[in-house]
Structure 1
Amino acid sequence: MNKPDIKVFKIKHPSFLFLGIENEIVGSIENADFVTIWNKFFEVGGFDKIRPYQKNFNPPMVIYHQNNSDNLIYFIGSIIESVEKVPKGYSACVFPECEFLVITTDWLQTEEEALGEHGLGPVSYTHLDVYKRQCIY
């Protein structure tokens, strides 16, 4: 498989519920230990803990946002329908309708491709507006 092209575009997305693991990046993003972040994500259950809450398959995503500090949050997870009990170590947050900068690749057909060498999560959303997200912990 050839390395897919990277696509960057802006979208307006309706409000959604996102389940995943939030990782606070202290300092420069260039110095973040993404290997440790992803290893931790998969060690605690990864996407297997998210799938039971999805009515339809939604791809793995990373949302970059800021909480109440100046630090960046690297939020690995996926959009879900609803959640009665948030799995241990995970966060469920409602993101309001807003604009996102989407950084993705050409469509990767399988989950193995999306999480493999050329994917590692096919979509990243970067929030463009200042907002408050409501988290259910």
Structure 2
Amino acid sequence: MPGAVLVAVAAILLWHTFDPSYSSRLSTLKFGPVFFPRVILTVWLLLSLPLIFVVPRALRRSVLEHRKVWPGVFFVFALAIYLWLLPGLGYLLATFLFGAVVQLIAGDRKPLRFVFWSAVLTVMSWVCFELGLEIILPAGKWL
């Protein structure tokens, strides 16, 4: 059930990005403002699809096997929270927090390492999107 809900929400949000009201493409940009949300929503949708089949099967198995499924479920929920926080916190802070949470979900318990890699992920992806692809990322309300 969680997988089906996540797929449905991602599909609806992805479909909504094709609304004509979002088609205002700035002439100086290589990609429009909906490019980044479409990338994130596509990843969300693709990662949610296996949950439709994995979660129900895992619920029939022992508690030990449940532990294999929950990191994936937590990752998808972390991605949903990331998308929700993105406009308010901005790309830099939201992506840094998301990177740290994903590493915690993956089992990394060394704070210096996941802070370092979260910062590297954030800076490298920001450089790639803002400078390389010229995509305007959310700045957040605090800037």
TM-score (norm 1): 0.26
Bigger helix fraction: 2
TM-score (norm 2): 0.26
Q: Which has the larger radius of gyration?
A: 2
Bigger strand fraction: 1
Higher RCO (Cα < 8 Å, 6 or more apart): 1
